[in-house]
Amino acid sequence: METKVICPGSFDPVTRGHVDIITRAARMFDHVIVGVLNNLAKNPSFTTEERIALLKESLKGIDNVEVVGFDGLLADYAKQQGVTSIVKGLRAVSDFEYEFQQALTNKKLNPDLETVFLTSHSEFMYFSSSMVKQVASLGGDISSFVPECVHDEILARLKQTL
């Protein structure tokens, strides 16, 4: 039986931390759907299509990963895809509180859905997509935060929008 999971996020923009979690999930499961969603609480710098393209470029060579966009509730999308597990990355205790609440909500909406938490490697614990945006907007070097293959594209966009 194939194990299929969803690794959801806004990925605005994709970071080395995102790539690390997705790569590790791809080693653990047969098929990983990277679900790019629009988070209503965030004002994205990149369109959904642009985020999908950046992720596909960043994840080239990982054959069991599929990058897609979706709208609506994650619990409903997982059911439509026949997926019973979500993989989420955790950087700090503050992430856990939010992600735990999300996991419980998803479980209530879809009782078959489980959430698997992967902790970030220490080198990725201190930054987020929001931090990448802030550093770039102030002229800082984001090269250690984002995949090299998409660095220039991300930097160009963040300089335009911030």
Does residue 90 contact residue 18 with C-beta atoms inside 8 Å?
Answer: no
**Which of 42, 60, 108, 159 is an active site residue?**
42
**Which of 4, 91, 120, 133 is an active site residue?**
91
**Which of 18, 24, 88, 133 is an active site residue?**
18
Q: Concatenated DSSP letters for 22-62?
A: HHHHHHHSSEEEEEEE--TTS--SS-HHHHHHHHHHHTTT-
Residue 157 known to be catalytic = no
Residue 91 known to be catalytic = yes
Residue 121 known to be catalytic = no
Q: How far apart are CA 11 and CA 79, in angstroms?
A: 22
Residue 18 known to be catalytic = yes
**Which of 10, 85, 120, 129 is an active site residue?**
129
Could you list the active site residues?
A: 18, 42, 91, 129
